[in-house]
Amino acid sequence: MKRLLIVGIAAVLMTGTAALAATAPTATSGSASAVTASGATVSATVNPNGTSTTYAFQYGTSSNYGSQTATTSAGSGTSAQSVHATLSGLTSHTTYHYRVVATSAAGTTSGSDQTFTTTAVPPTVSVSSPSLVTSSSATLVGSVNPRGKSTVYSFQYGPTTTYGLQTASTSAGSGTSTSTVHGSLSNLTSGTTYHYRLVATSSDGTSASSDGTFETTGPSSSPNGTLPAVSEAGAVRVTATSAQLNGAVNPEGPTTTWYFQYGLSTYYGLQTEPQTISGFGARAINVQLSGLAPNSTYHFRLVADSANGLYVGTDETFTTKNAARVHPQSLALYSHTQHQHSGVMLNASGTLRLPAGVSRSLGCNGSVAVQVERYGSTVALRRASVHSNCTYKVRIYVSNGAIRHARQLSLVGHFEGNQFLLPASTRRTVYA
């Protein structure tokens, strides 16, 4: 009897010792490499500490993450091993957070939060020879590739490489192919050499072509009067998304057209509505800018044009303030299931509803990750861009093997946030 009792106590002690010996895996987030506009490779080290362990990387546009790679086995060894995962379908020019998460029967360990920023893909532009030049007009020719982002373009031109004049901003769409664009110039001076370039802007930045030149036909002529002058250009009342530009213009007599050119580089690309004044002496002028990007440095300059010539002011800068991100009003998610012989096709779509004070031009951008879950495990994931009307849609195919005869699946939508909005999620049940 005593022997049985001693054996029993020993067994309990051994069992307790074994339980105490089981240690949760060790997980350390590593660096990101091979970062492109739409993807990256993230790395980490995982030590199973002797217990069968799996790991995955969580990632997203905030430390709330929202997306996760497939769960992968790390074995059951006792030494640290390097692991990695390739992320795809990312949004260009965006900062992503990520961490590794390792799980075993002994517990779950999360690595520290790390970040990387995908590269920007500004539009590509070039110019060709003008198609028609007269004594007072010209038709400029160029090409634009939006590279997948909504893009506007204009031709800048003038008697020097400071340009100063530009055509109206025109949409180039958001495609990925190169298209030919034109700009019509009028009221040019005869017998004069003009410089020009093509400038295109998207949310990923502004690009400018190389400088081109043409000469108007007819006799050369020079203005007799004094050029208009500009001075005292500056920015006041700067917020996260707006600013007031001030300055002074002396028309030196004739009717003078003035405006500010501005943008995120010295290519500018944007221009305020032209206004006119005349007479002598400096006149104070100002204009309001809106729809600016938070925490961004803008370049601007004041330009004045009259019959006596063109005056281009010096480059100035201001920096917008940080914006406090707010929650979207809601994220809607709808789906339609198409049954196929080898699986199901889920047609998912939805709407990002904006809160008061955030316009579509500011809030309707970013991406939504839509994932299909079977009993809490992700079996498929696709990303969709949020369009300018705040809608998104995506098609997700799930094979019968992934469903494994499940009658119900969960469809999860996760808006990854942008400069103005915090992330948001929604979930619905779909029937396989």
Q: Does residue 126 sit in the same domain as residue 218?
A: yes
**Amino acid making up residue 54:** T
Q: Does residue 6 sit in the same domain as residue 113?
A: yes
Least trusted range by pLDDT, from 34-48, 57-71, 80-94, 281-295: 57-71
Q: Indicate whether 5 pLDDT > 70.
A: no
Q: Indicate whether 294 pLDDT > 60.
A: yes
Q: Indicate whether 9 pLDDT > 70.
A: no
Domain with 308 in it: 224-323
Dist. CA 294–CA 196, nearest whole Å:
31
Residue with the bigger pLDDT between 225 and 159: it is: 159
Identify which of 71, 80, 84, 72 has the alpha carbon closest to the alpha carbon of residue 50: 80
Helix, strand, coil percentages in the chain from 3-state DSSP, rounded to 5: 5, 55, 40
Q: Does residue 395 sit in the same domain as residue 318?
A: no
Which of these three, 304, 323, 342, is where a domain ends? 323
Q: Does residue 272 sit in the same domain as residue 288?
A: yes
Q: Are 68 and 378 in contact (CB under 8 A)?
A: yes
Identify which of 81, 50, 83 has the alpha carbon closest to the alpha carbon of residue 69: 83
Distance of CA 429 to the CA centre of its chain: 31
Read off the pLDDT band of 203 (50, 70, 90).
Answer: confident
pLDDT score of 21: 57
Query: What CATH number corresponds to the domain at position 343?
Result: 2.60.40.1930
Q: Does residue 30 sit in the same domain as residue 127?
A: no
Residue with the bigger pLDDT between 218 and 67: it is: 218
pLDDT in tens, 318-333: 999 987 888 999 999 9
Dist. CA 413–CA 153, nearest whole Å:
34
Q: Helices then strands (H, E): number in the chain? A: 3, 35
Following DSSP, what letter does each residue of 56-88 receive, concatenated? Answer: EEEEESSTT--EEPPPEEEES-SS-EEEEEEE-
Cβ-Cβ contacts under 8 Å for 11 (sequence gap 6 or more): none
Query: What CATH number corresponds to the domain at position 263?
Result: 2.60.40.10
Q: Does residue 242 sit in the same domain as residue 306?
A: yes
Least trusted range by pLDDT, from 81-95, 169-183, 363-377: 363-377
* 22 backbone dihedrals φ, ψ, rounded to 5°: -70, 125
The 10 Å Cβ neighbour count of residue 207 is 23
* Residue 265 DSSP symbol: S
Q: Are 245 and 235 in contact (CB under 8 A)?
A: yes
Dist. CA 99–CA 423, nearest whole Å:
17
- Model pTM score: 0.67
Compute the half-sphere exposure of residue 331: CA atoms within 13 Å on the CB side of its CA: 27
Q: Does residue 153 sit in the same domain as residue 126?
A: yes
pLDDT score of 12: 42
pLDDT score of 409: 87
Q: Does residue 317 sit in the same domain as residue 334?
A: no
Least trusted range by pLDDT, from 295-304, 344-353, 370-379: 370-379
pLDDT score of 188: 95
Q: Does residue 128 sit in the same domain as residue 214?
A: yes
Distance of CA 368 to the CA centre of its chain: 13
Dist. CA 14–CA 16, nearest whole Å:
5
* 16 backbone dihedrals φ, ψ, rounded to 5°: -65, -40
* Token pair belonging to 421: 């909005």
**Amino acid making up residue 393:** K
Compute the half-sphere exposure of residue 365: CA atoms within 13 Å on the CB side of its CA: 20
Cβ-Cβ contacts under 8 Å for 9 (sequence gap 6 or more): none
Residue with the bigger pLDDT between 360 and 286: it is: 286
Cβ neighbourhood burial of 298 (10 Å; 0-12, 13-18, 19+): buried
pLDDT in tens, 59-94: 988 877 878 899 999 999 999 999 999 999 888 888
Dist. CA 20–CA 10, nearest whole Å:
15
Dist. CA 364–CA 352, nearest whole Å:
8
Query: What mean pLDDT value characterizes the chain?
Result: 89
Q: Does residue 191 sit in the same domain as residue 285?
A: no
Distances, alpha carbon 298 to alpha carbons 118, 166, 213, in Å: 22, 18, 28
